[in-house]
Chains A and B, each alone.
Chain A
């Protein structure tokens, strides 16, 4: 029993106790056990991470149990600990522990809290199994396990039809990606004779330049395998085409969005590409695909994020966009930068989501930013936390001096793309800069709409309800006055309250991460020498030449993202602070574009048209026309004789056929036996 066993299996144990034993131990105990379990896991994880940072730890694999042995296909349950795992360990356990703590406050009034905490811990276990996997099948176990937890948590409020629909959508869309992942594993097994990650990575360079048969075509071996695996990554990390589930996943409680749909699960695809980076390095074609998909997702999601009004959806599209950044970093060969952005993003995006949760909590579950405004004075601590998150995501900093977390990681990605130099990577660079502008715009738009200006709460139904309920309790006599409460200050008489300490503590700790994570850790993650030493203890392919080149890029490149950030801020400020009707005018002027963005490029409509409705249509066709109309008609109901025979029998004894059948069988046997006897 080592620390890693405890880190991985304690959350599972806590989940089982809380989930199955909630009836006996009660909600308080369930919450305590799961939260304590995660804090213990987090406290055990940081020393491992620090050990790798300082170089005192080296990579190792802890066996757990055999899993499957079939012919020469064998894979076991085992826990791999290396620098890459260590990064993920601290991200997962820290954010998860804080989200558990946060949920004490956020879910306080929910009658089903034990179940919620059990799911959170179950998710954490699956995620830990994913990042500690030493073979592709265990990674797939974690992959599907987090998918299950995500499904359960998105649909946590299972009475809401929209939540159920979102949960199913998340699971099924992810399975489309999993199809690619599975085919990739099969192909790898037959090619390398193993699914062990280190063995595959060691053998991969030998196969460069070879070709393989697939669906009757002859294709480049490594490109095929990498692309199949990458399709899996696209599903889990919500990349363009398979992204449609992520915004809908916001139906889940906000702590879930912070943990699963921002900090950890959705980054699994990025992690997979980095874990298998030596494999991806064998195919430039696959890397180009990764770059293009990542960059296109970054810009696509950023454009949609511009016009969304639901605070969580803005952050969800932002997440989608940032994941695109991570992918095109990986596609550029800057895996260290991809992991660095994954690391810093986990902190500031979890912070933004939990901050948004705090706002939603204060605003009585109103999520529409059009009904916010002026909240700065009412919930100042949340405001400052969100401010730190915004400064981090927009990458505020001064070149050569320092800045917030995103400043280090995002700039590294943009510079690495430029330094890589090929056409595809220049596309990534250009998109990266433009998306940085859009990121800055939508992030500041969120801040201005939420915290600045005058309150616009009175139009919110949620606030109306809150005030209404309040009126019912306190002033039965002037019920009417409160039912349509309108006040001159736009607050409808509602007074938002700052969240409890259980929610503010995680915000405070994550704020530290958002402010300092870039400054403290950039050396080991992306600097040529320190990075080489750090990543040497992992499967991550660290290209020190690229990292050197990254520092040699022209000054205009280094400044470009800062300029983009400032432009975004200025635009948002002028549109939402100086002018009151600029957004409306703009939307009216460019109505088709606005609608296109508002409807998320019509992906949902397209998929419904292409896949969902045809599936049901074909299902009915096959059933009514195929099974009943053709097979049964010409089969068992076949000839008129058979039909009349059937109906004649039907009016007879129930088991009429039985006798016939038994008779036929018996006759057959008698004939057979007598025939044999004659012969022998």
Chain B
């Protein structure tokens, strides 16, 4: 039997939808169970997908094609980059269901249905091979998120979703127009074909900007990031996990799938813009994170800083930078998801996100303190955790393009240590000044089952990242080869002006992608 014979991607898209339909009509306990079983089934299918994916095989695997209506085609298929992001999604989903097990008590069926629907849409974004199909998944994915924030959110959920709405609306409309133009130009909405279409350089700029408007908001990049802290603060724990874990990755995925390979020249032209915004983001949002009093806001701002490393890595045009950016996306998905879960654990007990209401939790919650420490260290990029591998590779790639950008972005390791350790200190260390916080119980079995798997993967990715680099290596190389013709010379210009030894060669080794522009 060949795994390619089964429409595994369609099945993965269908399972949550069917389960969601059931959830709407059953009691709370049943809905929880259905959601858990469905997401676990998808996780199992994801593992099958992972194991049967051949890194040396065709670029697009598990492809499916069917005609929907009109020009929109039900075309699915994944490469290694999609695979890792789908894995991230299906891995986090059961954890989200588990995180909502007791904390969500109203309209449970609908809540679970919203999450399941979101899973379908997330997988769809990463698996779509049709431009319009992608657009549908990409934009519709926000609808369940609105519902989750709007119905099960906190006090100011309306303002949060209003902000979300305004930011997203403009970007997505502009992107749609650009997509239509592209389809008209290329005569097809097939993404693999579009990936090899050379758009006129002049048109690329407008198209690039149209996509940028949408992806920059999703990332989010400074200065269109202000919806994120509000959305996180208002969302329930699982909502934050999925928002930080997967939804923020859609912007990066978009840059990677569309902006870079489809508009290489424009991407190269706009490097100063992307790097500039990212440099500002690292310093600016890190400093803002430092002064936050609300745990979720702090982690939300740190997300913006981490995503800035992603955008820098993506626009380095070299293997290290882009692979690093993908690893940062995966790592951030896990680590920030875990950090939001950590917030959820104590929020469930004390019902406040105010940092100063906690303190000294190491005494009464030692297991919690240990896990929280691990994720804190992963967030600050300690070697041995996933955070380091990604940051190191993206910044190493960035050095070739711009030493200034690298220097400024690398200050993130100092500032990140500052705000995360300051947060940890105020929550887990110090005297136990709040009696109610001191009386909280340590993580229970259910919470352990949510956090421990993430901890394992975070360490795995830090110590043996090859598991995650292997599937993306060839696809990143494809992108690098595609954009090579526009690769930047770089401000650092690691080139030696050495009168005694000419001709000079920059990089030793057989590679082609990075020697470009150095001479």
Are A144 and B396 in contact (CB-based, < 8 A)?
A: no
CB distance from B126 to the nearest CB of A (A): 19
Are A619 and B290 in contact (CB-based, < 8 A)?
A: yes
- Among the listed A65, A171, A631, A676, which residue makes an inter-chain contact with B70, where contact means beta carbons less than 8 Å apart? A676
Judge if B425 is at the interface, Cβ distance under 8 Å: yes
0/1 string, B393-419, CB within 8 A of A gives 1: 101100110011011001101110110
0/1 string, A662-680, CB within 8 A of B gives 1: 1011001100110111011
Are B430 and A158 in contact (CB-based, < 8 A)?
A: yes
Are B496 and A207 in contact (CB-based, < 8 A)?
A: yes
The A639-673 residues at the B interface (CB cut-off 8 A) are 642, 646, 649-650, 654-655, 657-658, 660-662, 664-665, 668-669, 672-673
- Among the listed B291, B384, B415, B501, which residue makes an inter-chain contact with A145, where contact means beta carbons less than 8 Å apart? B384
Judge if A573 is at the interface, Cβ distance under 8 Å: no
Judge if B150 is at the interface, Cβ distance under 8 Å: yes
The interface size bin for chain A is 35 or more
CB distance from B218 to the nearest CB of A (A): 15
Judge if B332 is at the interface, Cβ distance under 8 Å: no
The A171-213 residues at the B interface (CB cut-off 8 A) are 171-172, 175-176, 178-179, 182-183, 185-187, 189-194, 206-207, 209-213
A70 vs B389: C-alpha distance in the bound complex, in angstroms? 10
A176 vs B495: C-alpha distance in the bound complex, in angstroms? 27
Are A69 and B469 in contact (CB-based, < 8 A)?
A: yes
- Among the listed A161, A210, A661, which residue makes an inter-chain contact with B497, where contact means beta carbons less than 8 Å apart? A210
- Among the listed B226, B399, B425, B506, which residue makes an inter-chain contact with A631, where contact means beta carbons less than 8 Å apart? B226
A642 vs B400: C-alpha distance in the bound complex, in angstroms? 44
A193 vs B509: C-alpha distance in the bound complex, in angstroms? 7
Are B142 and A661 in contact (CB-based, < 8 A)?
A: yes
The B243-265 residues at the A interface (CB cut-off 8 A) are none
A218 vs B320: C-alpha distance in the bound complex, in angstroms? 25
- Among the listed A221, A657, A679, which residue makes an inter-chain contact with B184, where contact means beta carbons less than 8 Å apart? A679
Which residues of chain A are near B428, meaning CB under 8 Å? 158
Tell me whether A183 and B406 are in contact in the complex, defined as CB-CB below 8 angstroms, given that A72-B507, A615-B290, A619-B287 are known contacts: yes
Judge if B493 is at the interface, Cβ distance under 8 Å: yes
Judge if A24 is at the interface, Cβ distance under 8 Å: no
The secondary-structure label for the interface of chain B is: helix
Are A673 and B146 in contact (CB-based, < 8 A)?
A: no
Closest residue of chain A to B396 (Cβ to Cβ) is: A186
Which residues of chain A are near B469, meaning CB under 8 Å? 68-70
Tell me whether A159 and B430 are in contact in the complex, defined as CB-CB below 8 angstroms, given that A654-B157, A673-B70, A673-B71 are known contacts: yes
Which residues of chain A are near B227, meaning CB under 8 Å? 636
Contacting chain B: which of A426-434, A501-509, A622-630?
A: A622-630
Which residues of chain B are near A620, meaning CB under 8 Å? 291
Are A190 and B463 in contact (CB-based, < 8 A)?
A: no
Are A69 and B180 in contact (CB-based, < 8 A)?
A: no
A650 vs B362: C-alpha distance in the bound complex, in angstroms? 41
The B342-383 residues at the A interface (CB cut-off 8 A) are 360, 362-363, 377, 382-383
0/1 string, B480-505, CB within 8 A of A gives 1: 00000000000111111110110010
Are B492 and A168 in contact (CB-based, < 8 A)?
A: no
A626 vs B285: C-alpha distance in the bound complex, in angstroms? 10
Judge if A635 is at the interface, Cβ distance under 8 Å: yes
Judge if B132 is at the interface, Cβ distance under 8 Å: yes
The B426-440 residues at the A interface (CB cut-off 8 A) are 428-432
CB distance from B317 to the nearest CB of A (A): 12
CB distance from B321 to the nearest CB of A (A): 9
Judge if B167 is at the interface, Cβ distance under 8 Å: yes
Judge if B72 is at the interface, Cβ distance under 8 Å: yes
- Among the listed A73, A194, A672, which residue makes an inter-chain contact with B396, where contact means beta carbons less than 8 Å apart? A73
- Among the listed A65, A654, A662, which residue makes an inter-chain contact with B158, where contact means beta carbons less than 8 Å apart? A654
Which residues of chain A are near B360, meaning CB under 8 Å? 158-159
A615 vs B291: C-alpha distance in the bound complex, in angstroms? 9
Which residues of chain B are near A628, meaning CB under 8 Å? 226
CB distance from B137 to the nearest CB of A (A): 12
Are A190 and B507 in contact (CB-based, < 8 A)?
A: yes
0/1 string, B418-455, CB within 8 A of A gives 1: 10011001001111100000000000000000000000
A167 vs B362: C-alpha distance in the bound complex, in angstroms? 15
A635 vs B151: C-alpha distance in the bound complex, in angstroms? 25
The A276-293 residues at the B interface (CB cut-off 8 A) are none
Tell me whether A145 and B165 are in contact in the complex, defined as CB-CB below 8 angstroms, given that A70-B469, A71-B320, A664-B173 are known contacts: no
Closest residue of chain B to A178 (Cβ to Cβ) is: B413
Tell me whether A672 and B180 are in contact in the complex, defined as CB-CB below 8 angstroms, given that A158-B362, A212-B496, A213-B494 are known contacts: yes
Judge if B240 is at the interface, Cβ distance under 8 Å: no
Judge if B199 is at the interface, Cβ distance under 8 Å: no
CB distance from A282 to the nearest CB of B (A): 13
- Among the listed B132, B139, B158, which residue makes an inter-chain contact with A650, where contact means beta carbons less than 8 Å apart? B158
Judge if A556 is at the interface, Cβ distance under 8 Å: no
Which residues of chain B are near A673, meaning CB under 8 Å? 69-72, 132
Interface centre among B396, B413, B415, B498 (most CB of A within 10 A): B396
A175 vs B158: C-alpha distance in the bound complex, in angstroms? 40
Judge if A616 is at the interface, Cβ distance under 8 Å: yes
Are B507 and A193 in contact (CB-based, < 8 A)?
A: yes
Which residues of chain B are near A215, meaning CB under 8 Å? 403-404, 407
A625 vs B403: C-alpha distance in the bound complex, in angstroms? 30
Closest residue of chain A to B514 (Cβ to Cβ) is: A71
Which residues of chain A are near B493, meaning CB under 8 Å? 212-213
Judge if B48 is at the interface, Cβ distance under 8 Å: no
Are B406 and A145 in contact (CB-based, < 8 A)?
A: no
Judge if B269 is at the interface, Cβ distance under 8 Å: no
A669 vs B319: C-alpha distance in the bound complex, in angstroms? 36
- Among the listed A158, A190, A672, which residue makes an inter-chain contact with B429, where contact means beta carbons less than 8 Å apart? A158
Judge if A216 is at the interface, Cβ distance under 8 Å: yes
Judge if B324 is at the interface, Cβ distance under 8 Å: yes
The A13-29 residues at the B interface (CB cut-off 8 A) are none
Judge if B318 is at the interface, Cβ distance under 8 Å: yes
Judge if B25 is at the interface, Cβ distance under 8 Å: no
The B264-282 residues at the A interface (CB cut-off 8 A) are none
Are B465 and A67 in contact (CB-based, < 8 A)?
A: yes
The A41-81 residues at the B interface (CB cut-off 8 A) are 65-73, 77
A212 vs B429: C-alpha distance in the bound complex, in angstroms? 46
- Among the listed B71, B147, B413, which residue makes an inter-chain contact with A655, where contact means beta carbons less than 8 Å apart? B147
A206 vs B498: C-alpha distance in the bound complex, in angstroms? 10
A280 vs B284: C-alpha distance in the bound complex, in angstroms? 36
Closest residue of chain B to A623 (Cβ to Cβ) is: B288
CB distance from A627 to the nearest CB of B (A): 5
Judge if B172 is at the interface, Cβ distance under 8 Å: yes
Judge if B508 is at the interface, Cβ distance under 8 Å: yes
Are A657 and B132 in contact (CB-based, < 8 A)?
A: no
Judge if A603 is at the interface, Cβ distance under 8 Å: no
Judge if B61 is at the interface, Cβ distance under 8 Å: no
Judge if B185 is at the interface, Cβ distance under 8 Å: no
Judge if B466 is at the interface, Cβ distance under 8 Å: yes
A646 vs B180: C-alpha distance in the bound complex, in angstroms? 31
Which residues of chain B are near A253, meaning CB under 8 Å? none
The 3 closest A-B pairs by CB, nearest first: A71-B319, A186-B399, A210-B496
Q: Known contacts A77-B463, A216-B404, A664-B169; can you find 5 more A-B pairs with CB under 8 A?
A: A179-B410, A221-B496, A627-B288, A669-B135, A679-B184
Q: List 7 A-B contacts (CB under 8 A).
A: A213-B493, A221-B496, A619-B290, A626-B284, A636-B167, A658-B150, A672-B176
